[in-house]
Amino acid sequence: MLFGLLAAVQPGVTDPRLGVWTLISAQSNLDPPNRLSIAHLHNGVHVVMSGERHFDFTASRNGHDSPAPGNLGFNQIVLHRIDKRQAEVTEKKDGTVVATVREQLSKDGKELTSTTATVGNPDRITVWTRSGGAKVASDLFVGEWTQDLSKTRLRQGLVLKIEADGNGGVRFLGDFSYTARFDGKRYDLKNSRNDTVTLELVDPHTVDAIYRRDEQVTQTDRWQVSADGQQMTLSTTGTLESGQRITEKLLFKK
* pLDDT per residue as tens digits for the range 106-125: 887 888 898 999 988 999 88
Specify if 5 maps to a domain.
Answer: no
- Which of 91, 109, 135 is at the close of a domain? 135
CATH number for position 43: 2.40.128.20
When pLDDT is averaged across residues 143-170 and rounded to a whole number, the result is 79
Q: How far apart are CA 136 and CA 169, in angstroms?
A: 10
Q: Are residues 83 and 155 in the same domain?
A: no
* pLDDT per residue as tens digits for the range 157-203: 788 899 887 777 889 988 889 999 888 889 999 999 899 999 887 77
Is a pLDDT exceeding 50 seen at residue 12?
no
Q: Are residues 127 and 154 in the same domain?
A: no
Specify if 8 maps to a domain.
Answer: no
Domain that holds residue 154: 139-253
Q: Are residues 23 and 97 in the same domain?
A: yes
Specify if 66 maps to a domain.
Answer: yes
Q: How far apart are CA 110 and CA 123, in angstroms?
A: 23
Could you tell me how many residues make up the chain?
Answer: 254
pLDDT at 178: 94
Q: Are residues 113 and 51 in the same domain?
A: yes
Neighbours of 30 (CB within 10 A): 14
Q: Are residues 39 and 112 in the same domain?
A: yes
Q: Are residues 73 and 159 in the same domain?
A: no
Instruction: List, in order, residues 6 or more apart from 179 with CB less than 8 Å away.
Output: 165, 169, 170, 171, 172, 187
Instruction: List, in order, residues 6 or more apart from 240 with CB less than 8 Å away.
Output: 246
Domain count, the chain: 2
Predicted structure pTM score: 0.52
Specify if 183 maps to a domain.
Answer: yes
Report which DSSP code applies to 31. Answer: -
Q: Are residues 37 and 105 in the same domain?
A: yes
Cα angle 23-29-31, degrees, rounded to a multiple of 5: 50
- Which of 92, 120, 135 is at the close of a domain? 135
Q: Which of 203, 168, 164, 205 is nearest to 185 (CA)?
A: 168
Neighbours of 56 (CB within 10 A): 14
- Comparing 240 with 252, the larger pLDDT belongs to 252
What is the three-class DSSP state of 26? helix
